[in-house]
Amino acid sequence: MPSCEETRLALWPEPGPRRPSAELCEAFDHYTQCPACQSFFAQQRELRERLKRAGQSIVAPRELRERVYAELAAARVAAASRRRRRSAFWAVAAAAAAVAAWLLFYHPAPSAERLAQPFVEEVLREMPEGIVAEADPRNLARWFAERLGHAVPVLEIPGAELVGGRVAYIDGVRSAALHYRSWGMPLIYFVVPGTSLMGREIPEDEVMTLSSRGFEVVVWREPGAVHAVAAPLGRSELMAIAEECRRKLRGAT
């Protein structure tokens, strides 16, 4: 078992993804059992949030803002004057290009990589932060209900041991992340509110198998929520876990 110092170094967030390793797994085990390390990461999260809020509260002086607004207004007037001198052909072409750009950038078709990315990033980057160590499903369900304001199913997954859970942000929406361990590797079960953008992108009655950065992700919709499991396991193995979870969810309704 690594020491506190070794654990904090191993679990310290780094830019870019990290693949699971024996060192990470041992550090994560230490973290779930060590109040001192849990307190350390909690303090770091609080400091990060304070710095973020402080940065958001910085406002430019009124004189500078007024000068910038005036220059922007002048630029818009000049641009409008130039546009009026253009021919109707170029006006139509510009409008068509604007519509094409809007369709391309603001309404992208959901790709497997894009749908899988937020789940995989949660597994790789944020695994140790904010987790509550709780192996009792009833206690963990109450913990989620208090923090999210709605019920979260805490399932018993065959071949996996419940470690705990935390509040994760999937596509910017507060979601439940339930941490398990399967064959010594992390397995995370996500419950994302159905009102999220992702909830509108996932087709009903369809199970999607996705891959990203060496991880497999299985995503599907249930009434009111999107469910997903992510782990560095084989696709067929993870699909079997997802099907068992779906069976249990529908048996409970």
Pair 188, 248 in one domain:
yes
- 166 in the same domain as 144: yes
**Two tokens at 22?**
């024996």
CATH number of the domain encompassing residue 181: 3.30.200.100
Q: What is d(CA 135, CA 164) in angstroms, rounded to the nearest whole number?
A: 6
Question: CA 50, 54, 55: angle at the middle one, nearest 5?
Answer: 120
pLDDT of residue 95: 43
Q: Which residues pair with 190 in a beta bridge?
A: 177, 228
pLDDT tens, the chain, 253 aa long:
788 888 777 776 654 445 556 776 777 778 778 888 777 777 777 666 666 555 555 555 666 656 665 666 666 666 656 655 555 444 444 444 443 343 333 434 455 556 666 777 776 654 455 678 888 999 999 999 999 989 999 999 988 999 999 898 887 888 999 999 888 888 999 999 887 777 677 777 788 888 777 788 999 988 888 899 998 888 889 899 999 999 999 886 5
How far apart CA 156 and CA 252 sit, in angstroms, is 13
For residues 89 and 175, membership in a common domain is answered with: no
- Please tell me whether residues 125 and 182 are part of one structural domain: yes
- Between CA 37 and CA 3 the distance in angstroms is 10
Sign of CA dihedral 216, 113, 13, 21: positive
Q: What is the largest CA-CA distance in the chain?
A: 74
Parent domain of 73: 62-106
Is residue 30, in this structure, part of any structural domain at all? no
Q: Is residue 187 part of a domain?
A: yes
